[in-house]
Amino acid sequence: MTLDDLAGRTRPLAEPGLPVLRLDRDDEVAGVVAWFGEDRARRGVHLIVRGEDAGCLFRTDLYDLMGTRSMGFGDSARTILPGASTAWRTLELECPEPGCAESPLYALSFNPAAPPHCRLHPERALAPR
Q: Which residues are at the interface with Zn ion (CB under 5 A)?
A: 95, 97, 100, 118, 120-121
The CA-based diameter of the chain, rounded to the nearest angstrom, is 57
The Cα–Cα gap between 90 and 31 comes to 8
Q: Which is nearer to Zn ion, 37 or 96 (CB)?
A: 96
Least Å from the CB of residue 96 to Zn ion: 8
Least Å from the CB of residue 99 to Zn ion: 9
The Cα–Cα gap between 64 and 60 comes to 7
Q: Which is nearer to Zn ion, 6 or 95 (CB)?
A: 95
Least Å from the CB of residue 75 to Zn ion: 49
